[in-house]
A and B are shown apart, each in its own frame.
Chain A
Amino acid sequence: MIMPEIQKQRIIEYIKEKKRFDGRKPDEHRKIEVKLGISNKADGSCSVKFGDTEVYAGIKMDAMEPYPDSPDEGTMVTSAELSPIASPDFESGPPRIDAIELARIIDRGIRESGFIDFKKLCIKEGEKVWQVNLDVYAVNDNGNLIDAASLAALIALANAKMPEYDEENEKVKFGEMTDNPIPLNKDAMAFNITFHKIGNEIIVDPNKEEEEISEWRLSVAVADNKGEPRISAMQKGKESAVSEEEMEKILNLVEDKYKKMIPKIKKMVWGK
């Protein structure tokens, strides 16, 4: 996206007065909307909207050979597609670095928090384990795909059902579902908040224009550890560096946003 310098300056001037073009405060998210079951062929699926940024997430389970270093643990593969359907800035073709980074941030947030109980995804030690295939598709990009996609991933996982497994032929019976959910550690659920620096201010949930002009971004995956926030993954992006002062400010913001958002996020993920 190419943005006129004057518009960039305007956004920065506004932010100085803690104002944004769409009327939000710097630390305010857009309206989050969730729709479950966007694909009945997926084992779990949903759409998540942050304002008019929209992401689809879908889960497909499969059975594979385990990795040699963890013979009794299931595996997960996360893919993200920045499909050209979502923005004139995206092009067809193999995933570029943006999509690869997006998938890896989502993957780490889930994996490192211990949200999925990989030990319970073992079918036969050393021979067969379940593989969680998590696919995330951008449908409309108006900024902050990272947070929308990672929330969509949590919701799709929490609402997924395991398919039947044919033990005799050691194959998954695709399309035949059990009532069993994917084994998850509910308490370990971590959701992502990405902070951006614009001018001298730190904002959350940027739209496309804000995202474009921010100096750096810092994504923080935060889980609920008995009422206290616990960080399970982080990623700093873009070329500028974060000062010590800014880091402290972010950590305070994490605590604040976490307290405000965790009940809402839990409701979106678990439906209650």
Chain B
Amino acid sequence: MTEKSKYIKRADGRKFDEIREIEAKVGIIPNADGSAMFKTGGTIAIAAVFGPRTLHPQHMQNPEKGILRVNYGMMPFSVSERIRPGPNRRSQEISKVTEWALTPIIDLEGYPNTVVDVFIQIPQADAGTRVAGINAAVMALAQAGVPMKEMASAVSIGKLDKTLVVDLNKEEEDFDEGEGSTDIPICILSKSKKISLLQLDGKISIKELKEVIELAKKATEKIHEIQVKTLKEVGK
């Protein structure tokens, strides 16, 4: 940890390693086999899981095991300037990396020729939507009873000029002084501590990147606790 990062003041008063306030809820969409809402600060993600169900088109079926399919999208009114509904290049990429982030945690060996569909929607965005989507999706998968090897939690670590901070908001993401803002979304698995999502855009040294991973581990442990607590409350 650099000396400087300990003393950084963030616009919203958070400490450098403090995540935004989290609200989570499971079972928000009755039609789905599993569903959840994950809110972190001004970002809200809702996720629904359907399946395992028979996969169509048939040629995509895997006779050895079931597959996971993720569809991420932002609602048109979720950002300041309206975005057109429907998929775009960004949302398609996020869908794919989210799929890769979630695939290692589920075990679909016993479900050949099936698909587990995960739908993620963002009604309100204030940075970190893909990691909020992952956190919601993990809870939805657990509620749906999809066989899971472990859980996963995701957080976005940022570098503002030379300072590392945890869980960027939009204002911080747009920071443009000095070396500017570097955004590093990370997903860490709960038991194996493996990294299943890692993206980066900006500038960072190897030493700093090691710190980033340590920060992400700590932050995702806190998020994991909230996910577990929320799941235990279901049906109470």
A residues engaging B (CB < 8 A)?
38-43, 45, 52, 54, 56, 58-60, 62, 79, 81, 83-88, 92, 94-95, 133, 135, 137, 139-142, 174-175
Contact = CB atoms under 8 A, between A and B. Distances in A.
21 contacts: A39-B75, A40-B124, A42-B124, A52-B30, A58-B76, A58-B77, A58-B123, A59-B77, A62-B81, A81-B86, A83-B119, A84-B48, A84-B119, A85-B46, A85-B48, A85-B119, A85-B120, A92-B87, A133-B77, A139-B46, A140-B30
A41, A54, A141 — most chain B CB neighbours (10 Å)? A41
Interface string B27-48: 0011110000000001010111
Contact of A62 (B44, B48, B53, B82): B82
B117 A175 contact: no
Nearest to A208: B31
A86 B119 CA distance: 9
Given A39-B124, A94-B86, A85 B32 contact: yes
Interface residues of B, number: 32
B200 to A, nearest CB: 26
A88 B31 contact: yes
Nearest to B124: A39
Contacts of B158: none
Nearest to A43: B77
B63 interface: no
Contacts of A56: 75, 123
Contacts of B32: 85, 140
Given A81-B86, A133-B76, 11 more contacts: A38-B124, A39-B123, A45-B123, A62-B81, A83-B73, A84-B119, A86-B29, A92-B87, A135-B75, A135-B76, A140-B29
A85 B77 contact: no
Contacts of B87: 92
B71 interface: yes
B38 to A, nearest CB: 14
Cβ-closest 10 pairs across A and B: A58-B77, A42-B77, A60-B82, A175-B80, A174-B80, A39-B124, A85-B119, A135-B76, A85-B48, A174-B81
Contacts of A175: 80
B79 interface: yes
Given A41-B124, A84-B71, A140 B31 contact: yes
Contacts of A60: 76-77, 81-82
Contact of A41 (B80, B85, B117, B120): B80
Contacts of A94: 86
